[in-house]
Structure 1
């Protein structure tokens, strides 16, 4: 049997993704990349055309055709009356990136990080990546203002990837023949994909483990440090703030009740020193649920130790949102005393 036969058979069975030709945008560039991360479309070729006859030969079509019908593998969002959103509290109208991510995102995440699609970690990452990465692409492509009322943004924009994809299109005085533009599209697709995978790697391998550690710390602190749940002791520094508020808002997680936690204790970057930080009123607030005592604010070292009656004082910030002590025991005493004042 010729060695070329299996390859020829593989090529014959390969799927075809269809999208529009001409100027390309971030949403379909990412949509194509995401599809190529799935088992079904991993080796898919790409046809860029607006000709219905050409698109009809494709196995799946994104960002063209004026039809959204997941059962027929048609994923456009330009048609009149299209109002599809991601759900789960998100209200931004989807672009082709959001559509493909909504239907295939869990599979992509599960395969990249050896998880089951129904694993809670997969769902958590799926929602987080939509919030931090995909939603801005949907919003920008659909012309939705990020700050419609100049107060609260409709979505987060962590990168200006849509503009960078746009800059990969030919300039007005460069060739726009289909072959060269198709090459540029593939470059754009790889750009969006590399940034997507980079963000996913961070959220899977740094952000999500921090949540697990915080959950453990909340449980341990209630049993060994403060039964009221007002003081949470972290044995290692981790980015806790966002996780704490999300856990408090999660009705299925009963260990972190809304507004319960007041102070977080954790080791400082300086070896041996410890910090006490007041939980803010909201994730982005400069106000604290209960700032450290006013008489201690702005004091340092011996003056702080003398005034507070707690040895090892390093500082208390002038606003009372954070303080430091040379030992874990000292930091815990600061938090315990502050609760009573």
Structure 2
């Protein structure tokens, strides 16, 4: 039984979501919005308090109470000895946002999308939304650096992330406020965090999942199209496809060996020309598995065609991560020659 289905209310009882009073943060702002997505909490009262007696009355308590007891719907992370993570593959300690997502995420997605809890997209989307959205909230709230091994000050200051934007909705230090004002501000922050979160969910359903199937198809056909590499190191798309966010996970899922990992992606651009792009070593990396040959880099047009012996060449970027040709056949030829 899921955590959401386990929650039972007394006959006629109104559910109560409890979080802490005072200055608010992105983690409980998001956690509260996520909880309101569950049918059992859609009409819940919201109480912001640090009073132990009021906390004890909560149907679910997040970010306050010094307890992590899922059986009683208590989801705080501030207490000594708390080291919970999303799963064994993650190292980031959870905040209240991560705790709510860990225990209720699949049910929240099912409710938002209006699907049954056995929809095969839910496990994939559950992990994706933690990796792409919630984990950063957890890390920020727990003071975890994105670059723990980096020395020296950052090259620039960023204060445009969600945690910063939520923080700015708190009263200024020299501003007068009361509990009612702070509740209005908190609801605004919670709605902002939740709206951004579910916009990302909707984007994933509308665009990310359709691209995923196209990448699966291209990976499975990468040895069989005309001009294919027999080891499958060239992947061909006949249209624009957001492939980079999928290819690494799908390589593992499909059991593709390192020797047959894709090195180049060939696809049409918006002008009707063709591109050959080197696959990076990871989704966030600027380093390629195998950049296009160094002698080609920074060379253009006819000079590049003469150098490569391939008609229709347009360019190769100075870093070698991408190049262009007038035709599909020319782009495939560039990728094939780069394999040698």
- TM-score, normalised with respect to structure 1: 0.86
Greater shift after overlay, 199-208 or 41-50?
A: 199-208
Q: Structure 1's 141 and 222: CA in aligned 2 closer, same or farther, altered over 3 A? A: same
Q: Structure 1's 29 and 317: CA in aligned 2 closer, same or farther, altered over 3 A? A: closer
Give the SS at the match of 2:146.
coil
2:111: which partner in 1? 111
Q: Structure 1's 119 and 258: CA in aligned 2 closer, same or farther, altered over 3 A? A: farther
2:205: which partner in 1? 204
RMSD: 2.4
String of CA shifts for 1:184-215, please: whole Å, max 9, x gaps.
11111111111111222223322232222111
String of CA shifts for 1:252-308, please: whole Å, max 9, x gaps.
422x3336212110001212x101112233444444333323443333222222332
Determine if contact 1:132/1:158 at 8 Å carries over to the other structure: no
Matching of residue 148 in structure 1 with residue 151 in structure 2: no
| Structure 1 portions without partners, runs of 5+ | 1-10, 152-156
String of CA shifts for 1:119-149, please: whole Å, max 9, x gaps.
4421222112111211121112122223221
- TM-score, normalised with respect to structure 2: 0.87
1:163: which partner in 2? 164
Give the SS at the match of 1:77.
coil
Distance 1:236 1:339 in 2: 23
Q: How does 1:64-103 map to 2 (within 5 A)?
A: 64-103=64-103
1:243: which partner in 2? 246
Matching of residue 234 in structure 1 with residue 233 in structure 2: no
Distance 1:234 1:12 in 2: 57
String of CA shifts for 1:16-51, please: whole Å, max 9, x gaps.
111122222211111110000011111111111222
Give the SS at the match of 1:175.
coil
1:62: which partner in 2? 62
| Structure 2 portions without partners, runs of 5+ | 1-10, 152-157
Determine if contact 2:60/2:73 at 8 Å carries over to the other structure: yes
Determine if contact 1:210/1:238 at 8 Å carries over to the other structure: yes
Distance 1:222 1:159 in 2: 44
Determine if contact 1:33/1:193 at 8 Å carries over to the other structure: yes
Q: Structure 1's 207 and 176: CA in aligned 2 closer, same or farther, altered over 3 A? A: same
Greater shift after overlay, 259-268 or 196-205?
A: 196-205
Distance 1:286 1:170 in 2: 41
Distance 1:158 1:283 in 2: 24
Determine if contact 2:86/2:94 at 8 Å carries over to the other structure: yes
Determine if contact 2:159/2:165 at 8 Å carries over to the other structure: no
Greater shift after overlay, 205-214 or 133-142?
A: 205-214
2:186: which partner in 1? 185
Q: Structure 1's 158 and 125: CA in aligned 2 closer, same or farther, altered over 3 A? A: farther
Give the SS at the match of 1:232.
strand
Q: Structure 1's 266 and 174: CA in aligned 2 closer, same or farther, altered over 3 A? A: same
Aligned residue pair count: 322
Q: Structure 1's 245 and 182: CA in aligned 2 closer, same or farther, altered over 3 A? A: same
Q: Structure 1's 78 and 333: CA in aligned 2 closer, same or farther, altered over 3 A? A: same
- How far residue 12 of structure 1 moved from its aligned partner, in angstroms, is 4.5
Distance 2:159 2:89 in 1: 19
Determine if contact 1:275/1:331 at 8 Å carries over to the other structure: yes
Greater shift after overlay, 100-109 or 205-214?
A: 205-214
1:5: which partner in 2? none
